[in-house]
Amino acid sequence: MNPAKPGVFLTLAAKHRAMLKIDMHSHILPESLPNFAKKFGYGDFIHLIRNQDGSANMMKGDKFFRRIGANCWDPELRIREYADFDTQVQVVCTIPVMFSYWAKAEDTKALAEFLNDDLAALSERYPQNYLGLGTLPMQDAELAIAELERCKKIGLLGVQIGSNINDKNLSEPEFFPIFEAAQELDMAIMVHPWNMMGMKQMEKYWLPWLVGMPAETSRAACSLIFGGVLERLPGLRVCFSHAGGSFLPTLGRIEHGFNCRPDLVAIHNNVNPRQYLGEFWVDCITHDPRALQYILELQGPKRVTLGSDYPFPLGDLEIGRFISEMDLPEETIEDIFCNSTLEWLNLDRSRFADMDKGSAKAEALPKKK
């Protein structure tokens, strides 16, 4: 950590101000949602009820789910809010509760099309500020692949998927063709926790978010590794949310389990899970510089991305300010702030030339007279 001298922080913050910053984990909704429950005639699809103060209530059927503000749908307001944290680019995806994998597959596909078209329109309108990750009807591989192909055509760079699909693990063979198609189509995958295990047993204290979500992400990482998905698809570019959840902090235990009970763990893939470090990406959402330091040591800075979970309160709503305050090499900060995400999305940095004021290396060079 930096010494607590305000001048030191200001100098660093000022230096990083010039750096291209891409937040690759943020959520957005269309300004209005059709009432899908009415349209399809069943189910607790999310709909919005507007409040007088400009906010909206997300309703799951007739149950209140969450109150959201205009920064959940207003692109210009978001750009202004991001400017306060010197962040120019937002990778946006829907809110996981919208996945709706539980519905009839063709209805989930219709919902996904609606959300994905909105994301595509946004990134077309603001190509320097917004990049989109779609959503898929994962419960039906054929429809999911068709929508993945369509996502590619309309300019999305990848998709966000849940940590489980209707309680099934991502290692289930029925999902493999979707991952195979993502590799073929050069579409990135972001795995986001949702439908948390043990939800009913731990409703109090926000435990599904605090305990269930990190476990869900580790469940997804372990499933993709032990199920051999990452082994069979080395070109698949997967990013796990929330710094990989509990996967990286408990990797010692996971590896030990692999070694001491291969009869249980190594039944589909006999490669040590530690071998996959640096093969996938994780975001930086740890809220803890020491945890981030550990994750950087395991993953390397080119596999740790800047993410915020904006605009939700459990996110890092200062968008990586704690990273600026850490005593990290400039190149490492630059990797986290933009290079790792550019590689994950297979994007060229020149796309953001208008607002990219140069790399840490360039800044370090003496200015020409």
Q: Which of 216, 309, 316, 334 binds Zn ion (CB under 5 A)?
A: 309
334 binds Zn ion (CB under 5 A): no
Instruction: Pick the closer one to Zn ion by CB: 226 or 240.
Output: 240
Beta carbon of residue 25, minimum distance to Zn ion (angstroms, whole number): 6
| HEC letters along the chain | CCCCCHHHHHHHHHHHHCCCCEEEEEECCCCCCCCHHHHHCCCCCEEEEECCCCCEEEEECCEEEEEECHHHCCHHHHHHHHHCCCCCEEEEECCHHHCCCCCCHHHHHHHHHHHHHHHHHHHHHCCCCEEEEECCCCCCHHHHHHHHHHHHHCCCCEEEEECCECCECCCCHHHHHHHHHHHHHCCEEEEECCCCCCHHHHCHHHHHHHHHHHHHHHHHHHHHHHCCHHHHCCCCCEEECHHHCCCCCCHHHHHHHHHHCHHHHCCCCCCCHHHHCCCCEEECCCCCHHHHHHHHHHHCHHHEECCCCECCCCCCCCCCHHHHCCCCCHHHHHHHHHHHHHHHCCCCHHHHCCCCCCCHHHHHCCCCC
Choose one: 69-77, 116-124, 301-309, 336-344; the region binding Zn ion (CB under 5 A): 301-309
Minimum CB separation of residue 364 from Zn ion in Å reads 34
Backbone angles phi, psi at 193, to 5 degrees: -65, 145
Q: Which is nearer to Zn ion, 23 or 309 (CB)?
A: 309
- Nearest CB to Zn ion, comparing residues 23 and 86: 23
Size of the site for Zn ion (CB under 5 A): 1
Q: Which stretch binds Zn ion (CB under 5 A): 13-21, 305-313, 316-324, 349-357?
A: 305-313
- Name which of residues 23 to 52 contact Zn ion (CB under 5 A): none
Residue whose CB is nearest to Zn ion in the complex, by number:
309
* Residue located via tokens 């590896």: 255
Nearest-approach distance from CB 260 to Zn ion, in angstroms = 34
CB of 192 to Zn ion, least distance (A): 5
Which one of the spans 132-140, 159-167, 208-216, 309-317 is the region binding Zn ion (CB under 5 A)?
A: 309-317
Region binding Zn ion by CB under 5 A among candidate stretches 98-106, 137-145, 307-315, 330-338? 307-315
Name which of 16 and 21 has its Cβ closer to Zn ion.
Answer: 21
Q: How far is the CB of 350 from Zn ion (least distance, A)?
A: 28
- Write out the binding residues for Zn ion, residues 132-171 only, by CB under 5 A: none
- In contact, 352 and 20? CB cutoff 8 Å: yes
Closest separation in Å from C-beta 234 to Zn ion: 26
The region of 138-146, 156-164, 304-312, 361-369 touching Zn ion under the rule CB under 5 A is 304-312
Whichever of 309 and 356 has its CB closer to Zn ion, that residue is: 309
Stretches 34-42, 229-237, 258-266, 308-316: which one binds Zn ion (CB under 5 A)? Answer: 308-316
Which spans of this chain sit near Zn ion (rule: CB under 5 A)? 309
